Amino acid sequence: MIRKIGIAGNERTAVNPEDQNEYTFSYTPKEFVEGVTKAGGLPIILPLGQPEQAKDYIDLIDVLLLAGGQDVDPSLYDQDPHEKLGDLFKQRDTFELALIQEAIRQKKPIAGVCRGMQLLNVAFGGTMIQDLSLDPSLTLAHVQSPVPLTKATHEITIEPNSYLAEFLPETVAVNSYHHQAVDQIAPPFTVTARATDGAVEAIEGVIDSSCILGVQWHPEQGFKTNPTDQEFFTYLVERFN
């Protein structure tokens, strides 16, 4: 039976230059869809909705996948916004937090990429470094622009006996596009990968029988040129339980 991967969607508003009307789109990066499909799964995009719809959405899927995007609202981890904080989307935070709680209630696994990992950490009591410049020890170029995200730019080290260790080598190169980093780790999680400057690159844990995996890099952007990134999607579809 094909496994259904629910990808929590984002929204974007744009003005059509031809008629000057404003349109709002529900979307997820196409590469998430392609990565899941290539792994043999069925991608289902979950459009941004209301918290009370979370049960119906989670009923439809086997794995919840939280994608990247805006910064997580710092009020969720009891901090005031720093001047270098990026865009927020509070409705998205609220909806995805409801999806997380419902997935756990239904004992379904959850994976998070970039912002998705950060939200998982915040959801269970962790905190964020609101901008990498606030921690001088984080010296790598974690925003690799203008280098394309299809290329890996720095290495991470993976802990043994982790979910990641089931499909990745101990040391692997990843891409990097984030201006924030996980700070205090939520109690349910352990850090299972770090960059060479110490930045948290992965967290894992089990909450009420729900397996949870978060990664800071972007496998959806690298899988076409980097086979180890495709392994992320293969793991979600075939073995992540």
Check if the beta carbon of residue 36 is closer than 8 Å to that of residue 233: yes
User: 65 is written with which tokens?
Assistant: 């996948």
123, 157, 135, 138 alpha-carbon torsion, rounded to 10°: -140
- Strand 63-66 relative to strand 4-8, pairing: parallel
114 has catalytic annotation: yes
Q: Torsions phi, psi of 110, nearest 5?
A: -130, 135
Hey, what amino acid is at 212?
A: I
Where residue 109 falls (left for φ over 0; alpha for ψ -120 to 50; beta otherwise) is beta
User: 152 is written with which tokens?
Assistant: 């890996």
In sequence order, the 6+-apart residues with CB closer than 8 A to the CB of 41 are 2, 3, 4, 5, 233, 236, 237
218 has catalytic annotation: yes
179, 148, 154, 74 alpha-carbon torsion, rounded to 10°: 20
User: 17 is written with which tokens?
Assistant: 């230059």
Out of 114, 142, 201, 204, the active site residue is 114
Out of 142, 154, 178, 218, the active site residue is 218
Check if the beta carbon of residue 18 is closer than 8 Å to that of residue 99: no
Out of 201, 204, 220, 231, the active site residue is 220
154 has catalytic annotation: no
Which residues are part of the catalytic machinery? 114, 218, 220
